[in-house]
Structure 1
Amino acid sequence: MLLTGIPLSGCGVPTESEPRPLEPSVHVANPDTPTADTSLPPGAAIEKLYLVRNDQLVGVERRVDRAPALDRQLADLLAGPTEWEQDDGYGSALAGTDFVLGAVLDYGTAVVTVGGTTIRNDEVLAYGQVVCTLAARDDVDQVRFVLDGQPLEVPRADGSLTADPLTAADYAALIAVR
């Protein structure tokens, strides 16, 4: 049954005698107008790095063209915060160090080769940055450090040393809650 001529009064839509422009509920940015954050490169993937702010580990996300390989992500971490991140108060306990020589993935364990055992007085944060950054990857379950091919004892957040593989949980006390 088709009903026609039913008045729309009472449906909550006011009547107007003249058309009026409506504000769109979705605003589309003009591609020629820069957005507020131009420091992030355009990309379809997110790279998560753990940086330091106020003596805590903070996960930051960067947009990248594709998911980075393990060694690329580690290199990005070692390069430190971008200028924008520095302006926002982020730093790195790895800045000015060259103790990490590289990393390989061994069945879900990121094996990080280091070239020395001393970083600085904030070495717990430095190891935490590496562990949390690599453990944030989908293909990494745990992180192990080696020196000259032998397991290396590294500090956990509680200051205890271990040569066992580590996870972000070992540094949970240092991770900032956002």
Structure 2
Amino acid sequence: MRTAPLGGTGARPGGGASAGARLVVGLVLVVVVVLATACGLPRDSQPRPIDLGGGVTRPSSTPSTARAGNAARVVTLYFVERNRLRRVERPVASEVTLDQSLVALLAGPTRDEQQRNLSSAIPLDTRLQGLRLNGVVLTVRLSRQINQIEGVGQKLAFAEIVFTATAFVNVDRVQFEVAGKLVAVPTDDGNIGTVERSSYSSIGP
């Protein structure tokens, strides 16, 4: 009697090894699923950001993250009293940013500050439209309402902004864009494109 080879004449070469490999792969997949379930991995239908925790924030190149030179948590603003600048420090709950300071300045003095004879030469509807810091030179973009005032009042208005901005340690000089155009602003020495505190010595605090 003839005997057939083990596995039968109809078996493909290597068929036994292939079946064994499939069995191993299947077992590995089962183990992976079990481990994933045990670890409590969430099943999301779409990607989601990972919460790094610890207050991690993205680094920013904008001046809005600049901090005031003084250690106390105050916002330092400059308003007007009898045609001269006066320094005002308001307590705040968190660290002060440059854009927050300028927005607070444009909003004008509080009622309590007004009772102390402080005012602002900046027209109330003037809006801050952007900031750009290049080295130590800050470009302040303002709405066209800043042009509603002229003469000494306009000089005081720009001086308020310059002194408030340069209260921050990384700002030395300021230039202005009004309605999208760089402008020369009034100073003690006439209209100048880039100004600093010394440009307003005659009306400084």
TM over 0.5: yes
- The separation in 2 between residues aligned to 1:67 and 1:170, in whole angstroms, is 29
For 1:125, the equivalent position in structure 2 comes to 156
Q: Deviations over 1:107-127 (max 9, x none)?
A: 222210123261313100000
Question: In proportion to residue count, which structure has more helix?
Answer: 2
> What secondary structure, in the 3-state scheme, does the structure 1 residue paired with 2:147 have?
coil
| Aligned match of 2:186 | 155
Unaligned residue ranges in structure 2 (runs of 5+): 1-70
Counterpart contact for 1:46–1:64, Cα < 8 Å: yes
Q: CA deviation at 1:52?
A: 0.5
- Letter of the aligned partner of 1:92 in structure 2? S
**Is 1:106 matched up with 2:106?**
no
Deviation at 1:44, TM superposition (A): 4.2
Q: Map Cα deviations across residues 81-110 of structure 1 (whole Å, 9 max, x no partner).
A: 111111100000114231542323232222
Q: 1:72: how far off?
A: 0.7
Give me the whole-angstrom Cα distance separating, in 2, the residues matched to 1:157 and 1:119. 20
Matched, 1:139 2:170: yes
Match of 1:10? none
Specify the structure having the higher radius of gyration (Cα).
2
| TM superposition shift of 1:149 | 4.6
Contact 2:123 2:149 in 1 (8 A): no
Superposition CA RMSD, Å = 2.0
Give CA-to-partner distance per residue, 1:140-163, whole Å, 9 cap, x none. Answer: 1111112355421111134x0011
Distance 2:164 2:184 in 1: 19
**TM (normalized to structure 1)?**
0.67
With the length of structure 2 as denominator, give the TM-score of the two structures: 0.59
Q: Distance in 1 between matches of 2:101 and 2:196?
A: 17
Asked whether the equivalents of residues 81 and 118 of structure 2 are also in contact (C-alpha less than 8 Å), the reply is yes
Q: Matches of 1:47 and 1:79 in 2, distance apart?
A: 13
- Is residue 52 of structure 1 aligned with residue 80 of structure 2? yes
Q: One-letter code of the match for 2:84?
A: Q
1:89 is matched with 117
State the secondary structure of the residue aligned to 1:57: strand
Structure 1: stretches of 5+ with no match in the other structure? 1-42
| Alignment-mate amino acid for residue 59 of structure 1 | R
Partner of 2:104: 76
Q: Give the length in aligned residue pairs.
A: 132
List structure 1 segments (4+ residues) > 4 angstroms apart after TM superposition.
none
Q: Identity, % of aligned pairs? A: 30
Q: Partner letter of residue 149 of structure 2?
A: R
